[in-house]
Structure formats: C-alpha cells, structure tokens
Chains A and B, each alone.
Chain A
Amino acid sequence: QKEVEQNSGPLSVPEGAIASLNCTYSDRGSQSFFWYRQYSGKSPELIMSIYSNGDKEDGRFTAQLNKASQYVSLLIRDSQPSDSATYLCAVMTSGTYKYIFGTGTRLKVLA
C-alpha cells in the first residue's frame, strides 16, 4: 500500500512565528506533490504544488521537496490565526494519476 504520512498534531505556534509541516511518502516514483488547507467543515483548497527538488515560494508559503529522502514540507512564515486549519499533503502516484492524501496536520496559531 502506497502511503503518505503526516504528524496529526495539533501543532501550536504563536502568531508571527514560522510553522513547519512535514510529510513523508513511500512511493519512490512519485512525481507530483501538493499541499492543501482545509478549514473545519469545508473542502480542501490548494496552497502549493511542487514537482522538482528544492524550494518553491509563494507569498508566506514555501514548499520544500527532497525526493531522495521522500520528504516534502510546508513552511508558513509570519503565521496568522487565520492559518489555523488542517493541512493535507497529497502525492500523485507514478503512472496512475491517483492522488494519495495524508491524514493531515492540525495547525493552531495562537494570538
């Protein structure tokens, strides 16, 4: 079974701090990686996609990918209370066009 694993949290950070969310995956052939944010009772919304090793920045968000270590992370700078949500890591498995989701990490930003 191809898996995506995340720490369920909650991860608590003070307002203005950097939140670091981590995700590991088992399928070494995976090519596409995504971070989604999900507020309670709502559907997931895309934050970032990343396809190659290294960092990708978009505003306060930075996604980091290390395929050799099968590891993808999301950094949120200057965290705000409105960032409090569950963050889902998703991986597209090689050759199948299926998205496999982790169980999510719950982030709490404390004002």
Chain B
Amino acid sequence: DGGITQSPKYLFRKEGQNVTLSCEQNLNHDAMYWYRQDPGQGLRLIYYSQIVNDFQKGDIAEGYSVSREKKESFPLTVTSAQKNPTAFYLCASSTRDSEAFFGQGTRLTVV
C-alpha cells in the first residue's frame, strides 16, 4: 500500500540529546514537509523539500535539521538547541501544487 510512514510513534528525549524522526514515503512524491503541532494549535512549518538534495527553512527551523538524500526519505533531527521540543511532529508529502498527505505523526516528549 502507498503511504507515508513515520517512526517512532512515541519518542522520549533527555535534556541535551539529539534525536532523529524518520519519515518515508512510497507515493513517488517530489515534495516533503515537516510540521510541528502544539496542543490546541495549528501546524507550523519546520522545513520542506521540493527535490532531492535541496530543502528550505520554514517558519520555525531553529533547533532542527533535515536531509533529503533520497526521494523517499526526509528525516528530521531535533537538536539540543531546540529548547522546547515537546510536540506532535507531522511529516507530509505531495506532488507540486496538489494536496498534501500526512503520516501518522511522532509524539516527542522531553524527560
């Protein structure tokens, strides 16, 4: 089945630790996106990529990093510089200027 797979579903991070969230899609979509959602809030764009080996910062990129080495994969690293990382992280993909489809999300908690 085609879709977007995010892993893990739940992730716990200690203070000062870097963690990486995985996002894989088999929809042959060119564009991929990472959003952050805080309780009761909308989606805020962290990074997006329109083609392999290229990506752009979104509205809240500080403390995050990404790579796009393969069309299917767009991992997000939450670095220790992100001081308030507890949130629901959503990965999405799309063909250009059509609807985006989302993975099931990763819930990150700082412990």
B42 in the interface, Cβ–Cβ < 8 Å?
Answer: yes
Whether the pair B99, A102 counts as a contact (CB closer than 8 A) is: no
A-B contact count (CB 8 A): 49
Whether the pair B99, A46 counts as a contact (CB closer than 8 A) is: yes
Chain A nearest CB, measured from B89 CB (Å): 10
The secondary-structure label for the interface of chain A is: strand
Residue of A nearest to B50 (CB): A97
On whether A102 and B42 interact (CB within 8 A), knowing A32-B97, A97-B31, the answer reads: yes
Number of chain B interface residues as a range: 20 to 34
- Tell me the complex Cα distance, A8–B96, Å: 29
Residue ranges of B at the interface with A (Cβ–Cβ < 8 Å): 31, 33, 35, 41-45, 48, 50, 58, 90, 92, 94, 96-105
Residue ranges of A at the interface with B (Cβ–Cβ < 8 Å): 31-32, 34, 42-46, 49, 88, 90, 92, 97-104
